[in-house]
Structure 1
Amino acid sequence: MKKTIVLGASPNADRYSYRAVIALLSKGYEVVPIGIKTGTIEKTPIINGTPDIEKVHTITLYLNPSNQKLYYTYILKLQPQRVIFNPGTYNPELIDLLEKNKIEVIQDCTLIMLSMGTF
């Protein structure tokens, strides 16, 4: 299955990033939750920082634009095939950077994509 990073993962069960990790895992995806806060999502640990991860297919963003800038270089280094901008994460500066590096940009909701079978 496609390796997916949930960037902005939260240990708070009320957050959409938490729900996305659970939904991705339930569909069989290999998920790497990366967040600022430590904790777990069910039994999956949230990783802090910018770990080296190979063969990333998708990064799904749950960070507001002001917090994304810290990750620009990291995202480009990982060379994902695509980046999903979930509601509230739209960032024209990052979108332009991704497109210049030939990384597909998707503005959608990961949870809806999973439920519709379009992920």
Structure 2
Amino acid sequence: MSTEEASKILSFYFFAFAIGVVFWGRICDLSGRRFAIIAGLLLYDLASMIALYSRYFEELLLARMLTAFGAAVGSIVDWAFSDKPDSQLTVMALNMTIQRQKGNSPPIW
């Protein structure tokens, strides 16, 4: 695979991920978190198998787009679960976000 093909796959991957965020957000609102995460992970698994056995570049490109689209559900459901303010992970993520906005990142241990 050439460098150009690899960069094309990466570009399409991020594009599909962005579209997936919008799509899964709406599905999460309409059908609930459980359905969204199961459907997204099933799509991710199926597309990963297609990518594994793809013989042509176009098949690989499409499969990688579908994996990104399915993986985007993790981003949405993660934010959906952060509605519990007492969650330690939520507080940590919020703190890191605020620190990044201020320009000084917290130390990593």
Q: TM-score normalised to the size of structure 2?
A: 0.24
Where relative contact order (Cα < 8 A, 6+ residues apart) is larger, the structure is: 2
Q: TM-score normalised to the size of structure 1?
A: 0.23
Q: Which has the larger radius of gyration?
A: 2
